[in-house]
Amino acid sequence: MSYSYVIIDDDKQGTLETQAMAGSFPELIFVGTANNYKKGVNIILENKPDLVFLEIDPTNLKSKLSLSLINELHRCLKVVPKIVVVTKAKKLAYEAIKYAVTDYILKSPSRGDFMQLLTKLNNDSNQMALLNDEIISKTVSISNQNTNSQQGLILCIKSYGDYRYIDTRDIAYLKADNNSTDIHLKTGEMITAFKTLKHFESALYYPFIRIHNSYIVNSCYISRIHTGNALCHIKHTLTKIPFSKTYKSNIDLIISKISSDNYLEI
């Protein structure tokens, strides 16, 4: 298979190195380059490449290159290109993983890096074809089993023979209280579970996202995100939940997810 690509990097030498290495693979088709956030978004929207080689630790901070570019792509495109981070900064690898990038390559890239990337891309394409066939054959079955999905998971809070059953779709947020966790329902009711917030973080998946050392929020119940005040507002209540810088990337993910659905920004 062949893959069109663009390079977004404010470092000219880095751009040339990436382009030179990519040029040795006939499967990779060069489209163009950009050296800042705005031009990067524009070249992607105009050309809709399969791949984006992205620098997220720019030499010039005015270029505004960062992982936030991925959020903008989710806002503007139904199908986002595969993102390959190419940077000197090893420390940003974990943050990149949270954005589900396809690969993370350190400058200066080697031929081996690109061979591994192409293998991954080809495997993903083959798996996607198989997945599409499987989705078609299981559509009816999945529809009937939706009540068993993560959003419809039944949570059992057990204490001394008392079994309390909670539909996770009714949970607005969870708050840490030392070694226990307060589960706040959409009705305003609060239930205490004698498990740590860390336990619930590992047990619950999206739309449950940790945004603070003390809070996990069901993103379906967020009515407003105020980044200036670092607060999330909960639907149909006056509750405001803080989020911390440590989990700012999770807030970016929530914003991206909301904007990728049936969405109009005015």
Q: Is 62 a residue whose pLDDT tops 60?
A: yes
Domain 3-126 has CATH 3.90.1150.10: no
Q: For residue range 201-258, list pLDDT tens digits in order.
A: 988 888 999 999 999 999 999 999 999 999 999 999 999 999 998 899 899 889 988 8
CB atoms within 10 A of CB 243: 23
| pLDDT band with cut points at 50, 70 and 90 for residue 127 | low
Nearest to 221 by CA among 172, 166, 257, 262: 172
Q: For residue range 135-165, list pLDDT tens digits in order.
A: 344 444 434 444 444 446 899 998 778 899 9
For 257, the 3-state DSSP assignment is helix
CATH superfamily of 150-260: LytTr DNA-binding domain (2.40.50.1020)
Domain with CATH 3.40.50.2300 in the chain: 3-126
**β-pair type (28-34, 82-87):** unpaired
For 139, the 3-state DSSP assignment is helix
| Residue 43 C-beta-side C-alpha neighbours within 13 Å | 23
Domain with CATH 2.40.50.1020 in the chain: 150-260
Q: Which pLDDT score is estimated for 5?
A: 96
Give the whole-angstrom CA distance, residue 234 versus residue 220.
9
Average pLDDT of the chain, as a whole number: 86
Average pLDDT estimate for 32-47 = 95
Q: For residue range 68-111, list pLDDT tens digits in order.
A: 999 889 888 888 999 999 998 788 887 888 788 989 999 888 99
